Amino acid sequence: MVHQSPLSSTNSPSLEITGSRQFTAWLAEQHLSLAFTTYQAGKVFFIGVQPTGQLSIFERTFERCMGLCVHGSTLYLSSLYQVWRFENVLEAGQIHNGYDCLYVPQVGYVTGDLDVHDVAVVAPPLKSRAGGDYPIFVNTLFSCLATVSETHSFIPLWQPPFISKLAAEDRCHLNGLAMREGEPKYVTAVSQSDVADGWRDKRHDGGCVVDVGRNQVIVTGLSMPHSPRLYRDKLWLLNSGTGEFGYVDLSRGEFESVAFCPGYLRGLAFSGDFAVVGLSKPRENRTFSGLALDERLESKQAEPRCGLFVIDLRSGDIVHWLRIEGIVTELYDVAVLPGMRRPMAVGFKTDEIRRVVRIGSVEQK
pLDDT in tens, the chain (365 residues): 455 554 544 455 689 999 999 999 999 999 999 999 999 999 999 999 999 999 999 999 999 999 999 999 999 999 999 999 999 999 999 999 999 999 999 999 999 999 999 999 997 654 444 456 889 999 999 999 999 999 999 999 999 999 999 999 999 999 999 999 999 999 999 999 999 999 999 999 999 999 999 999 999 999 999 999 999 999 999 999 999 999 999 999 999 999 999 999 999 999 999 999 999 998 765 666 779 999 999 999 999 999 999 999 999 999 999 999 999 999 999 999 999 999 999 988 777 777 777 777 776 65
* Separation of alpha carbons 85 and 239, rounded Å: 29
Residue 39 to residues 155, 164, 290: CA-CA distances in angstroms? 24, 29, 23
CATH class of 2-364: mainly beta
Please state the domain extents for the chain: 2-364
pLDDT at 283: 77
Burial class (CB in 10 A: 0-12, 13-18, 19+), 119: buried
In this structure, the number of other CB atoms found within 10 A of the CB of residue 81 comes to 16
In this structure, the number of other CB atoms found within 10 A of the CB of residue 315 comes to 11
* Separation of alpha carbons 219 and 204, rounded Å: 15
Q: Which residue type does 247 have?
A: Y
**What is the DSSP code (8-state) at residue 13?**
P
pLDDT at 171: 98
* Separation of alpha carbons 46 and 289, rounded Å: 30
pLDDT at 7: 53
Terminal Cα distance for the chain, rounded: 44
| Pairing relationship of beta strands 144-147 and 134-139 according to DSSP bridges | antiparallel
In this structure, the number of other CB atoms found within 10 A of the CB of residue 26 comes to 17
